[in-house]
Structure 1
Amino acid sequence: MKTISVQQLVARFKLEVLAGAGKLDRTISQSKVHRPGLEFVGYFDFFPMERVQVMGRKEITYLHKQTEEERMLHIGNIVRYRPPCFIVTYGQGEGLKYLTQYCEEEGIPLLRTVEPTTEFITKLDGYLVKSLASEISVHGVCMNVSGIGILLRGQSGIGKSETAHTLIRRGHRLVADDIVTLKRISPQTLIGTHNETTKEFLALRSIGLVNVVRLYGRKAFQDETRIVLDIELARWRENELNNELELQPGYTDYLGVKVPHIEIQLQPGRDVAGLIEAAANNWYLRQHGYSAAEEFIKRIEEQMEENG
């Protein structure tokens, strides 16, 4: 199971440490945060103690309205379940005496952000989902073509990076070259990104390593993209090209997510980058219910009816 440390959270969101500074190595393994509510009245049957606990104005205001004895009891009960950490939003400071005290005693980090609760939770949830997602690395190139995320694969030396360079020159964006990190952030969603080391770099045979941002500007690169097409570049094989009106889709499985698969065979004179653009745009149209093959067949049927 993947985990991240509370220290990573502090660094990523520039959080202020109010208590438990010596325990920032505590680990987080769940990708959703929790706002304690029923727990304040003693109901813990479904308390997700393994999640980060976020306390906004609603929770702190409720505690302010309790007697000192009630406040100590409610806070003490939650802290003793030892969640990874507590985070207070809106920069709240008043009334945190007992929360700070219990967190210090139990060795649980108490953190604070100035951000509003809802906005912070949205950012934190997104960060945790990606950081804790299952992932694998594959050899290939990841591109965003007209807003469509594509994983470009093929044997070493087949021309993946050169094809990517042509696509960049046409206004599309590089995500990763050579090593592509794939993250499964939901049963239907696969994200492609770089491994930081290769960020912005493209390796071109006979030229060497180039930085696409330095060459073509910020528009030539983006950090990640949702993968919706798996395109494999393959060597030309005589008599094996499909010429059907509409091909039956094949799929490649990555971490349990099925991605539509297309093979493009290479031969001198073929506009591979143009074919990839066509594949991306065609996928987009299919998602919106349009099929060129269906329209073509419909036209033929209409002509046959007109001709009697």
Structure 2
Amino acid sequence: MSGKTITVENLVRRFSLRVLAGENLNEKLITQSRVHRPGLEFVGHFDFFPTERIQILGRKEINYLHKLSKEERKIRIGNIVHYHPPCFIVTAGEEGLTYLTKYCIEEGIPLLITNKPETTSEFITYLDAYLVKEMAPEMSIHGVCVNVSGIGVLLRGNSGVGKSETAHTLIGRGHRLVADDIVVLKKLSPQTLLGTHDEKTKEFLALRSVGLLNVVRMYGRKAFQEETRIALDINLTKWEKDALNNELEQEAEFTDYMGVKVPTIEIQLQPGRDVAGLIEAAANNWYLRQQGYSAAEEFMSRIASDISDQSAD
């Protein structure tokens, strides 16, 4: 498991930002996945100033600075640049920012400006989402990740058990491949696990006896998805006679990935068994459970009702 840092240069490329001041952008590291608007700091309150965060200057902050006298502005800006945040990003235009550019150049702090006409709050929403995803703790596992009817599913199992072949069958039924062989898992929150590829294997599916397939080239864009939230973990195993669980309601089991518990089930493979269909059923059943429905509970309720009716007779 690892948590990542990104550089200011990554931000410039991702959001097409213009650089008003700053050199060596690749050397400026961002270590926090949240941003900050230094409104209170401009008026002198520094008790909780998160100096390691990106500092966002919107129209309110810029208008406030414009109204200050030259000497007062020098003090207010100097108090903030003294802490050397990773960068400043201006979202309200660059009119009259000569003074701010000057201080950033002197202190070696990148000063960036947005090009798109979005509001400050909109830009912060996009930037926060990007930072959380890019800097999330992550790990890689051996397996396959697919999106089945909008539900992210991990397929695990020993090498050669049939994970990729099963994924290929699911693609043929209209579902989507996310990653084959190496699945990158990112922890976005204590309850949210994102599955994606490692770039090198993007769009590729390896089938024994057939070789490497590019699913987008063969089946179109609908066959592939960049990422998916992981909802279900399915362990594919070889068939063992009399080992299947035939109870109405199986006891819930979970697999822990970086502290996120993912519901786990086992599906045994056997020639002629519709494993892809079972995976579809498992995904749809998981969805119904999220809506509060349990087929086993409804069945038992019917039995109880039938017994009650017979007793009444």
TM-score by length of 1: 0.98
Would you say the 8 A contact 2:148–2:175 is kept in 1? yes
In the TM superposition, residue 239 of structure 1 has moved relative to its aligned partner by 1.4
Secondary structure (helix, strand or coil) at the match of 2:174 reads: coil
Counterpart mapping for 1:269-284 below 5 A: 269-284=272-287
Provide the C-alpha distance between the structure 2 equivalents of 1:18 and 1:144, rounded to a whole number of angstroms. Answer: 42
Question: Is 1:299 aligned with 2:302?
Answer: yes
Counterpart position of 2:113: 112
SS at match of 1:136: strand
1:72 paired residue among 65, 71, 74: 74
- Give the aligned partner of residue 18 of structure 2: 16
Deviation of the 1:227 alpha carbon: 0.5
Is residue 2:214 matched to residue 1:217? no
Please give the per-residue CA displacement for 1:246-275, whole angstroms capped at 9, x wherever unaligned.
101111010111101100011111100000
The residue identity in structure 2 corresponding to 1:29 is T
Does residue 181 (structure 1) correspond to residue 184 (structure 2)? The answer is yes
Output the CA distance in 2 between the equivalents of 1:45 and 1:28.
Answer: 21
Matched to 1:135, the amino acid is: E
Alignment correspondent of 2:30: 28
Instruction: Report the residue type matching 1:172 in the other structure.
Output: H
User: 1:21: how far off?
Assistant: 2.5
Q: 1:148 maps to what in 2?
A: 151
Distance between the aligned counterparts of 1:168 and 1:55, measured in 2?
A: 46
1:249-260 matches, within 5 Å, as: 249-260=252-263
Cα deviation 1:74-113 (Å, max 9, x = unaligned): 11111111000000114x1112122111110110100010
Q: Percent identical across equivalent pairs? A: 71
Task: Write the letter of the residue equivalent to 2:195.
Answer: G
Aligned mates of 2:90, 2:145 — CA distance in 1: 38
Contact 2:55/2:85 (8 A) holds in 1? yes
Segments ≥4 residues shifted beyond 4 Å = none
Q: Unaligned 5+ residue runs, structure 1? A: none
Q: Distance in 2 between matches of 1:93 and 1:182?
A: 39
Q: What is the TM-score normalised by the length of structure 2?
A: 0.96
How many Å separate the matches in 2 of 1:173 and 1:38? 47
Q: Which residue in the other structure is 2:99 paired with?
A: 98
Which residue type is aligned with residue 93 of structure 1? E
What is the CA–CA distance in structure 1 between the aligned matches of 2:208 and 2:25, rounded to whole Å? Answer: 49
Aligned to 2:237: 234
Mapped contact 1:60–1:95 kept (Cα < 8 A): no
Question: Does residue 196 of structure 1 match 2:199?
Answer: yes
Q: Is the 8 Å Cα contact of residues 234 and 265 (structure 1) preserved in structure 2?
A: yes
Which of the residues 243, 263, 266 maps onto 1:263? 266
Paired with 1:197 and 1:119, the residues of 2 have a C-alpha distance of: 32
Q: Would you say how many aligned residue pairs link Structure 1 and Structure 2?
A: 307
Paired residue type of 1:210: L
Q: Distance in 1 between matches of 2:74 and 2:183?
A: 50
How far off is 1:204 after superposition?
0.8
Q: CA RMSD in A?
A: 1.0
Q: Are the aligned partners of 2:16 and 2:115 in contact in 1 as well (CA < 8 Å)?
A: no
Q: Shift of residue 24 of structure 1?
A: 4.1
Determine the C-alpha separation between the residues in 2 that align with 1:137 and 1:185. 15
**Alpha-carbon displacement from aligned partner over 1:109-129 (angstroms, at most 9, x marks no partner):** 000102321221111111110
Q: Which residue type is aligned with residue 89 of structure 2?
A: I
1:177-215, Cα deviation, whole Å (9 max, x unpaired)? 000000001111110000011111111111111111111
Corresponding residue to 2:169 among 157, 162, 166: 166
